Amino acid sequence: MNNIIIELKNLWRVIINETTKPFERLFKGYAKEDLWGLDEYLCYRILKPLKAFREAKKYGYPRGMKSFEEWLKAIDKMILAFELIIEDSMLSERGETKWQVREKKIEEGLELFAKHFRSLWD
């Protein structure tokens, strides 16, 4: 009997927790669980609009870049970085060499994102 009561209490906690997350996100913009993996949460929030920005019509490129094509390549590297971060959160096996290459691509994309953050408009 005690086990049934404990299981029902646990089930109730799960139900309450799962139903409050959407309301937290609606009213606060995030749920407390999002803070446990804020990097991944932000990647999901950034990736889709960044991809849409890549496909949208643009009329220029940031100062310091030589061409519009260079700007598109930079955006592609940013997108790849966010995709790799999300993918890394799902990987269980990591080869050292492969991991170093991925990390280098992530760093490059994030540096470009930071450098050109204020140029993500058109």
Give the pLDDT confidence of 60-84 residue by residue, as tens digits. Answer: 899 899 999 999 999 999 999 999 9
Residues 62 and 113 in one domain: yes
Of the candidates 86, 87, 79, the one whose C-alpha atom is nearest the C-alpha of residue 44 is 86
Biggest CA–CA distance in the chain, Å, is: 73
Asked if 67 and 112 sit in the same domain, the reply is yes
Sign of the CA dihedral with 52 first, then 54, 55, and 61 last = positive
Could you tell me if 84 and 48 lie in one domain? yes
Task: Check: pTM over 0.85? Answer yes or no.
Answer: no
Q: Are residues 54 and 90 in the same domain?
A: yes
If asked whether residues 94 and 59 sit together in one domain, one would say yes
- Indicate if 26 and 38 belong to the same structural domain: no
Is there a single domain that holds both residue 47 and residue 76? yes
- Which of the four pLDDT bands, split at 50, 70 and 90, describes residue 1? low
Domain count, the chain: 2
In this structure, the answer to whether residues 87 and 105 fall within a common structural domain is yes
